[in-house]
Amino acid sequence: MTTTRTFSSPLDLQSVRADFPILSRELAGGFPLVYLDSANSSQKPRQVVQAIEDHYLQHNANVARAMHQLGAEATAAYEGGRDKVAAFIGAPNRDEIVFTKNASEALNLAAHTLGAALKPGDVVVVSEMEHHSNIVPWQLACERTGATLKWFGVTEDGRLDLSNIEELLTENTKVVALTWVSNALGTINPITEIATKAHAVGATVVVDASQAVPQFPVDVSTLGADILVFTGHKVVGPTGIGVLWGRYELLAELPPFLGGGEMIEVVRMTGSTYAPPPARFEAGTPPIAQAVGLGAAVDYLSGIGMDKVAAHEHAIVEYALEGLKTVPGLTLLGPTDAKDHGGAISFALDGVHPHDVSTVLDTRGIAVRAGHHCARPVHERFGMQSSTRASFYLYTTPEEIDALVDGLGFVRSFFKVD
């Protein structure tokens, strides 16, 4: 049932895919891997793995506190990762980049430190389409402080419902924490427009860019966010490292998050003073090799060009939406056109539970995600308990989309829902 549709990408897919050995794997039954789960975790190019290997095999030591030659090399490598990440997202100042364990820890850092100033009567605003990691830390902050959590709803077509923005953004609103690109719906939200209104009432704007930074060029100097977070493993980098960017003036006035080595200035038994950012927020031995790997990852993406990555994602999403619309009984969750649509598409298939969809696809080598994708509220919004999600990246080919569409036809025939 594969149809010939037009597809045009600025990327040389064959040469991109040659950098990712895993994409050539054959899975059980002789099926080639069709990896459509990059919003969950992206694959890694050889260049990233080699940078990590070289670090561990030639330069490994602890950072900052190690006073020997290897310590200096490791420190330079770690701080070099910070420079690269700062440049990649347009941060005006390298000290605005804080390395964390992942995006969840970065959001918890934001919720703890901004939450320290919250009091009863204050309002924190999130949205119904957030990942759990941009809901739960704020719920906890509100429980600790007596502040109130409110949220933007989601429209029937999967966009942020801004119709009551005037009610949500008042002088009591202290924090607005929003996802830039929904991991479940794929929706791209108008961050700058909302940030302008949030700033007008004096609120701090936190942006979860976990699905944005991998997909299109990001410039924090013009975005309007005060804090932005993302994770390394979704930008072809390693697991174990996340990034929090914050305006320096804001970071400088925030209290510490985790206490420990490296985040201090002077420790006395009677009390301590704290280091300036970013060290204030990086207690303990940081993810050193991961920072090296992340640096190599953003170098890799910059080498290809994030504008080209974005154009490719758009082309693939457009192609996939067309293909999925040909599958009988398939309902798309979220926007059904490619405009302002990130590289993840969730859907329901009549009569077949998402787990069963994903298991059957898996036996044909097709890796998708099934479940609520850590975004249960938005599934509830659409009366669904879970969905199947296909997500794409710079190495995704139109042939892989065809394999998905064919695979869904097979799922339907296997479960006899024809």
The contact set with another protein (CB under 8 A) reads 28-29, 353-356, 359-360, 362-363, 370-372, 376, 379, 385-386, 414-415
Minimum CB distance to another protein smaller for 29 or for 303: 29
Nearest approach, Cβ of 238 to another protein (angstroms)?
A: 23
Q: Which two tokens stand for residue 292?
A: 């090296």
Residue 21 has what DSSP assignment?
Answer: G
Residue with tokens 């430190």: 113
Q: How far apart are CA 113 and CA 126, in angstroms?
A: 17
Which of 54, 374, 386, 415 is an active site residue? 374
Closer residue to another protein, CB minimum distance, 47 or 363: 363
Query: Is the CB of 215 or the CB of 358 nearer to another protein?
Result: 358
Specify the amino acid at residue 300: Y
Query: Which of 94/132 has CB closer to another protein?
Result: 132
Task: Please state, in angstroms and rounded to a whole number, the distance separating the CA atoms of residues 252 and 93.
Answer: 13
Q: DSSP state, 242?
A: E
CA separation for the pair 160, 166 (Å, rounded): 14
**Nearer to another protein (CB atom), residue 215 or residue 388:** 388
Shortest distance, CB of residue 375 to another protein, whole angstroms? Answer: 10
For the CB of residue 333, give the shortest distance to another protein in the complex, in Å. 14
Rounded Cα distance between 123 and 393, Å, is 36
Apex 194 CA angle, 183 and 198, nearest 5: 120
User: Is there a catalytic annotation at residue 142?
Assistant: no
CB of 362 vs another protein, minimal distance in Å: 7
Show the tokens assigned to 256. 């510490």
Q: Least distance to another protein from the beta carbon of 331, Å?
A: 16
For β-strands 160-161 and 148-154, DSSP reports them as antiparallel
Angstrom distance (rounded) from CA 11 to CA 249: 39
Q: Would you please indicate which residues are annotated as catalytic (active-site) residues?
A: 374
